[in-house]
Chain A
Amino acid sequence: MRPDLLGIDMKKSQMQLGETMAILLVFMVLVGLGFAFYMRVSKASFEKDLKAQEAELSIQKLQTITHLPELACSSEGVITDNCIDVYKASASAGPEGFFTKNRIYYQKILGYSSITLYQMSPSEGSPQVLYESKKGSNYNVVFLPVILHDPVENSDYYGLLEIATYTK
């Protein structure tokens, strides 16, 4: 083959190679930008999902609590929905309450959380801490209105159950 022709061929292939490299570079930059954007968006979305899942978990815990025989109102063995017996709540609250005394057992059910009961009617009472097992400083709070049943007076008061679930 003639060397001048060989020279021309080499230049042309070099140019083609250069073009391919440039296209690949641009493509890689675009892919990199897309990936960075995707990571940013998915991180924000993941954090939102995590918070929502924690909130849903808190609601599940609230429902578990209101159905615990240790707290729930019952008549002839039938548990009333969304109802807490005020005498059972008094017995379970505070450092001498059975939730604190049997903390290891209840930690399996309630995990790291704080559960507080507020009486809102007929007058606002002082809050009763039913269960407390703290871990870290990040927590998610959910409220659930409940009936506070007084079996002696046969009255139903308006109460609020607060659960703070510790996340990390």
Chain B
Amino acid sequence: MKKSQMEIMGLTIIVVILAFVMLFVVSFVMKPSEDTKTDKIQAKLASSVMSTLLKTTAVDCKKFTLGELVKDCREGMGSYISSWDEKDISDGTIDRDNKGNIECSPGKNSCSYALREINSILNSTLSERINVNYNFLILSQGNGCEATKNPTNVIFHTGPGCPATKQHECQPWPTSIETLQIGLDICSKI
């Protein structure tokens, strides 16, 4: 009787220890990680960048907003869709293509002006000032926000890229031809 009571006591102690261990493990598993909180900050940054960027006035282009110029750029392309990246801006290919209906200055139409300005603003703010990596995309025939995660039909792409964990922000941008998908990924520099 005494021995069996001792055994029960021992078992109880083991169960209590196991319960504590489980509680400890569960509290670590359930706890939101630091990454989740950093993600919130980067998500806020991505949404603010996107909304601010498209409302910015193009002072040297008849005071249209960059969003309006992007819309005009797509409408000026018609059925043939061009594809550019930041290399095409630096080597002047985008100027030579001369796409878009609005002429901002001689030889510089809406596509050239808007995409050059977007590239410059993103580079000076995200890369140089805030020190994060990013990936900016304008897609044609994008089927909702999911399209910007696996992009095809890219009209414009810029940024050092985001191979690691990223915060994704996307905005549909209607034009008279189709609805463009504008996407921005933001991630920490590794």
CB distance from B27 to the nearest CB of A (A): 10
Which of A3-11, A89-97, A106-114, A116-124 forms contacts with chain B?
A116-124
Chain A neighbourhood of B34, CB < 8 A: 48-49, 51-52
Q: Which of B121-162 contact A (CB under 8 A)?
A: 121, 124-125, 129-130
Do A121 and B56 touch (CB < 8 A)?
Answer: yes
Assuming A82-B51, A124-B124, A155-B63, is B56 touching A59 (CB within 8 A)? Answer: no
Chain B neighbourhood of A146, CB < 8 A: 48, 52
For A48, A49, A143, the residue with the greatest tally of chain B CB atoms inside 10 Å of its CB is A143
Indicate if B117 sits at the interface (CB-CB under 8 A). yes
Assuming A48-B34, A55-B37, A122-B60, is B24 touching A145 (CB within 8 A)? Answer: no
Which of B39-47, B73-81, B84-92, B104-112 forms contacts with chain A?
B39-47
For B51, B56, B60, B117, the residue with the greatest tally of chain A CB atoms inside 10 Å of its CB is B56
Indicate if B65 sits at the interface (CB-CB under 8 A). yes
Do B56 and A157 touch (CB < 8 A)?
Answer: yes
- The number of chain B residues with a CB under 8 A from chain A is 29
Do B37 and A52 touch (CB < 8 A)?
Answer: yes
Query: Roughly how many angstroms separate A124 CA and B128 CA in the complex, as a whole number?
Result: 12
Do B55 and A118 touch (CB < 8 A)?
Answer: no
Do A120 and B125 touch (CB < 8 A)?
Answer: yes
Indicate if B30 sits at the interface (CB-CB under 8 A). no
Question: What total of A-B pairs shows CB separation below 8 Å?
Answer: 71
Query: Roughly how many angstroms separate A144 CA and B51 CA in the complex, as a whole number?
Result: 11
Do B57 and A156 touch (CB < 8 A)?
Answer: yes
Chain A neighbourhood of B45, CB < 8 A: 143-145
Chain B neighbourhood of A154, CB < 8 A: 63
Q: Which of A71-109 contact B (CB under 8 A)?
A: 82
Query: Roughly how many angstroms separate A124 CA and B123 CA in the complex, as a whole number?
Result: 12
Assuming A52-B34, A59-B44, is B55 touching A147 (CB within 8 A)? Answer: yes
CB distance from B183 to the nearest CB of A (A): 16
Do A59 and B41 touch (CB < 8 A)?
Answer: yes
Identity of the chain A residue whose Cβ is nearest the Cβ of B41 in the assembled complex: A55
CB distance from B12 to the nearest CB of A (A): 14
Indicate if A56 sits at the interface (CB-CB under 8 A). yes
Indicate if A139 sits at the interface (CB-CB under 8 A). no
Query: Roughly how many angstroms separate A45 CA and B29 CA in the complex, as a whole number?
Result: 13
Do B56 and A45 touch (CB < 8 A)?
Answer: no
Identity of the chain B residue whose Cβ is nearest the Cβ of A158 in the assembled complex: B56
Assuming A121-B121, A155-B59, A156-B65, is B48 touching A144 (CB within 8 A)? Answer: yes
Partner of B124, one of A45, A51, A120: A120
Q: Which of A32-87 contact B (CB under 8 A)?
A: 38, 41, 45, 48-49, 51-52, 55-56, 59, 82
Indicate if B38 sits at the interface (CB-CB under 8 A). yes
Query: Roughly how many angstroms separate A115 CA and B52 CA in the complex, as a whole number?
Result: 19
Partner of A118, one of B49, B57, B129: B129
Do A145 and B52 touch (CB < 8 A)?
Answer: yes
Residues in chain B within 8 A of chain A (CB atoms): 24, 28, 31, 34, 37-38, 40-41, 44-45, 48-49, 51-53, 55-57, 59-60, 63, 65, 117, 120-121, 124-125, 129-130
Closest 3 CB pairs of A and B: A52-B37, A155-B57, A145-B52
- Can you add 4 more A-B contacts, CB < 8 Å, to A56-B37, A59-B41, A157-B56? A52-B34, A56-B40, A120-B124, A155-B63
